[in-house]
Amino acid sequence: MENIKIKEIIAKGYINPSKLPGTDYVINPYVGCPHRCMYCYAEFMKRFSNHDEPWGTFTDVKIRSTSSRPVDLRGKNVFLSSVTDCYNPLEEKYALTRKLLQQLRYSGAAVTILTKSALVLRDMDVLKQLPDVTVGFSINTTDDAFRQDTEPFAACVPERLNALKTLHENGIRTWVHVSPIFPYLSDWKAVLEAAGPFTDRFSFENLKLRAASLPRVLLYINRRHPQLLKAYEDIYKHDGSAFWRALRKEILAYCNRGRLSAEVQFSAKDPAQD
Ligand code: SF4
């Protein structure tokens, strides 16, 4: 967590309606994310958060909310988190996610968590009290050198897999989001093999690059995987649809054969594309 500017703020509220598929509400206890993933999809949030600093170098902590308006969550799906990691390292100190989960215990909501951190295990006691909860990890590789390149401040792959196993052994429903799939680099079959015994379902999402992340990722490919540069340029500067169509088919066939529950969420653009 070097060189992260941390600010405590008072938020208008913690819970917001969401247009994400299968999600009624999202909770983002932090603005910004110290995990600094190279491809981060949440970077567009800078536009709304009055920050000039580069994404990944600041995090605002929503220590309080001014809203006392109760939200009826009975039968609703609540997702943590869409534009931060709710278990980023600041959560160790602030425990905002923990407090929010405690408040959700009797809300009647189905809660889904997605993280890249094993810190979620700290809250096992609260997770066990939630009547409907699924905890997911984003894992797009088993190659920790590649993980280190692209997600330098998130938990290493073995830590995420161990946390997944612990959750599963404690009766928590688990999910692995194989995302983002980097063309020719994400060894998704190895992820399925490693996580399969502890995972109730898989979802897959392709790497989508925005104006801010495209040059960053292409520079990385040129430096570390130059043999793939042309293929990346073809996919991201021209038309990658044939590549993703073929991969979708391959993933679904592979998961059908292995009787794995899988959903492929490939698209050319993500909903908040700039
Ligand atoms: S964990 Fe998620 S929100 Fe945080 S930097 Fe990585 S992609 Fe962005």
Output the residue whose Cα is nearest ligand 1's atom 7: 40
Please, what is the average pLDDT of the chain?
94
Backbone angles phi, psi at 65, to 5 degrees: -125, 145
pLDDT at 211: 87
**Using one digit for the tens of pLDDT, what is the confidence trace for 211-268?**
889 999 999 999 999 999 999 999 999 999 999 999 999 999 999 999 999 999 998 6
Alpha carbon 105 to its chain centroid, in Å, reads 23
Q: How far is the CA of 257 from the centre of ligand 1 (A)?
A: 32
- What is the position in ligand 1's atom list of the atom closest to the CA of 154? 1
pLDDT at 82: 95
Q: How far is the CA of 166 from the centre of ligand 1 (A)?
A: 23
Output the residue whose Cα is nearest ligand 1's atom 8: 40
pLDDT at 269: 56
Closest CA to 59 of 87, 25, 23, 84: 84
What distance in Å separates the CA atoms of residue 38 and residue 35, rounded to the nearest whole number?
A: 9
188 close to 251: Cβ distance less than 8 angstroms: yes
- What is the position in ligand 1's atom list of the atom closest to the CA of 83? 3
Residues with CB under 6 A from ligand 1: 33, 35-37, 40-42, 84-85, 116, 154
The residue ranges of every structural domain in the chain are 5-264
The structure tokens 């405690």 sit at: 102
pLDDT at 122: 98
Q: How far is the CA of 36 from the centre of ligand 1 (A)?
A: 6
pLDDT at 271: 43
Q: Which residues of 90-127 are buried (b: 16+ CB within 10 A; e: fewer)?
A: bbeebbbbbebbeebeebebbbbbbbbbbbbbbbeebb
7 close to 63: Cβ distance less than 8 angstroms: no
- What architecture does CATH give domain 5-264? Alpha-Beta Horseshoe (3.80)
Q: How far is the CA of 82 from the centre of ligand 1 (A)?
A: 9
Output the residue whose Cα is nearest ligand 1's atom 6: 37
Taking 70 as the pLDDT cut, the residues of the chain under it are 2, 268-274
pTM for the whole structure: 0.95
